[in-house]
Structure formats: C-alpha cells, structure tokens
Amino acid sequence: MANKIYIVLIILFISKFTFSQSFSYVNNIEILNTDTSDISYKSFVNDRIKLNLYDLRKGTDSIKIRFWVNTLSTLDYIYELSYKDNKWVANKITYGTIIRTFWFLNIKIRSVDQEVYSITELTPVNSWDTIISSLWQNNILSIRNQSELDSAYNYNIDDGITYQVEYSTQSVYRYYCWTNPKHGFKKYWDTIAIINIAEIFKNDFIEKNE
C-alpha cells in the first residue's frame, strides 16, 4: 500500500512540474503592441483556431512569421515563414469556401459548398538572401498597427483587402493589421512598407514543385 501511495505522489509531482513548466513558458512571452480588442484580431484568432494552427503566442525556437491575406474572394491565404535548423522554410496555406452552382437548361439545380484547405511549400524565385533582406528593409517586424496612426485608413474606399501579420520568437509575440493600404494615405512609411511586403510574398516565391 505504501508503495502505491509513493508512486501516486511521484506521478502528481511530475505532472505538477510539467504543467508549471508549460504554463511558465507561455507566460514568459512578451506580447508587443497587440490590440486584442480589435475586431480584426478576434476574427483572425477564430480563423487560427478553425485552421488548427499553432498558437504563436506560445513562442518558437527561433522565429516564425505569418502573413495573412484576406480579400473579397472566397479564398484567403497565409504565407508562413520559419527559420529552423539554420535555414528558412516557407509555406502557403490556402483556405476558404467555394460555392459551386450547377445549372441545367438555364435552371439552377443546386449549389454546393466546397471547403478548401491546402498547404504548399514555397521556394524563392531568386534567393533567400534577397527575400529576407527585402523583408528586413521594409521593417516587417516593426511596422506600426494601422489603428495606432491617425488618418492611416481611408474610409471612402474599401477594396476588401486586409493584411495581418504575426510573428513570434522565443521571447516576444506581435500582431498587427492593415486594411486597404493601397488606397490609404501614403504619409506614413508603414503604408508603403506593408504594400511592398505583400508584393514580396506574392511575387518572389514560387511553388516548390513548379
């Protein structure tokens, strides 16, 4: 009986230690300038949970950057950039719902919702040095959140494009969001930078198997 009690106490001690280590690890991450009350942030969190993506607020071994692209289209994209094992790796996540409508003799028969989710590995068009240098030159880690800047958003135009960026290291996590930057006011360097970064992810990568 004494041996059983001893074993139970050991298991409880190990469990408590493991939990406390995990809990401490999460809370050691410093969250930088992230407005968690923002509507865009709440929507982004819902998408992250739905897609079952790793929560970057828990930290990463080195650095991981996610560049979310949301449009009026039925499909959205996430470009995920990671540095691990002394090399960069990039993936493109495509997700959303396509509504397919079937017609017969000009009569709509039915509509079918088709969920889309795919992950494609990417490789640079030129080189990793070129891409990383361009991202760093555009200050991808230090762009200010659009909501922080007076008049950075043009309420007269809405093209439906929203860029959301999150990144994580071993010690910090940050999220920021920009909507309609191409139609926003260009007096802020951040506006130009986020547009440039979107072009880098769109044009400077190709699918690895192409």
Choose the weakest-confidence range: 18-22, 82-86, 100-104. Answer: 18-22
Q: Are 123 and 206 in contact (CB under 8 A)?
A: yes
Q: What is the pLDDT confidence band of residue 100, given thresholds at 50, 70 and 90? A: low
Q: What is the pLDDT confidence band of residue 21, given thresholds at 50, 70 and 90? A: very low
What residues does each domain of the chain span?
Answer: 29-207
Above pLDDT 70, what percent of the chain? 76
In 3D space, the residue among 112, 109, 108, 118 whose CA is nearest the CA of residue 98 turns out to be 112
- pLDDT at position 6 over 50: no
In 3D space, the residue among 167, 136, 128, 195 whose CA is nearest the CA of residue 32 turns out to be 167
Q: What is the DSSP code string of 71-82?
A: -SSSEEEEEEEE
Residues 131-153: tens digit of each pLDDT: 999 999 999 999 999 888 866 66
Q: For residue 144, give every residue at least 6 positions away whose Cβ sits within 8 Å of its Cβ, in sequence order, or none.
A: 33, 176, 188, 190
Q: What is the pLDDT confidence band of residue 113, given thresholds at 50, 70 and 90? A: low
Phi, psi angles (nearest 5°) of residue 107: -115, 125
Using DSSP's 3-state secondary structure scheme, residue 143 falls into: coil
Reported residue count of the chain is: 210
- pLDDT at position 154 over 70: no
State the Cα–Cα distance between residues 138 and 146, nearest whole angstrom.
15
Residues 53-62: tens digit of each pLDDT: 999 999 998 9
Running DSSP on this structure, what letter comes out for residue 183?
A: G
Using DSSP's 3-state secondary structure scheme, residue 148 falls into: helix
Helix, strand, coil proportions of the chain in percent (round to 5)? 35, 35, 30
Q: Are 29 and 59 in contact (CB under 8 A)?
A: yes
Other beta carbons less than 10 A from residue 113's beta carbon: 9
In 3D space, the residue among 200, 209, 197 whose CA is nearest the CA of residue 127 turns out to be 200
Other beta carbons less than 10 A from residue 130's beta carbon: 13
Choose the weakest-confidence range: 30-39, 140-149, 189-198. Answer: 30-39
